[in-house]
Amino acid sequence: MRTAEIKRTTAETDIVLKLTLEGKGGDAAPVSVRTGCGFLDHMLTLFAGHGGFGLTLTCRGDTEVDDHHTVEDIGICLGQAFAEALGERRGIRRYGDIALPMDEALLLAAVDVSGRGGFYDDLRIPAQKVGSFDTELCREFFIAFARCAGITLHIRQLAGENSHHIIEGAFKAAARALRTAVSVDPERAGEIPSTKGRLS
């Protein structure tokens, strides 16, 4: 089973995160997210659920300032956990993509588990806040996550008017694309999925 545990303590956040790539919830690979930011808890819980990942996460952050440090640092830790759990990335499918509808919103996500981190998007979120959550932090999360995971992640908004639906669709689409990309291809078990012989 591919797992990783990341601990990160700074003057701004204190994070403990455990990731299991083959998670299905339950006792073996639970999903429990407590970040101090309710909307982020919701997004990461559905990210784990739609990705089929086990995820336990606690964060104490300086949310009295705002949620920026919490969101970015969790993106860093989750990305580091994916990179560690994947190891040499042998046998994985490497690529995944999906067009995912979320009511009136339609999001396209495409992933390359390339070893080269980058996030590229076309998200047009109309509201500045969903509840108390600053919607610009959605992008900050994905930038930190993709960079530290060593993945190329594209998210395109093909349609959408409701800010909650757009962001939720982005998290679900990213999770579903990752689920495919990190899954093991039984026909290529043990192989590095690159003609170069390494992913970086």
Report the pLDDT value the prediction gives residue 200, as an integer from 0 to 100: 62
Ranges of each domain in the chain? 3-188
Nearest-angstrom CA–CA distance, 130 and 125? 10
Backbone dihedral region of 160: left (phi > 0), alpha (psi from -120 to 50 degrees) or beta? Answer: left
Report the pLDDT value the prediction gives residue 90, as an integer from 0 to 100: 87
Class level of CATH domain 3-188:
alpha beta
Unique residue bearing structure tokens 């042998």: 90
| Cβ count within 10 A of residue 65 | 10
pLDDT tens for the chain, 200 residues long, are 899 999 999 999 999 999 999 876 555 568 999 999 999 999 999 999 999 999 999 999 999 889 999 999 999 999 999 999 999 898 899 999 999 999 999 999 999 999 999 999 999 999 999 999 999 999 999 999 999 999 999 999 999 999 999 999 999 999 999 999 999 988 887 776 655 656 66
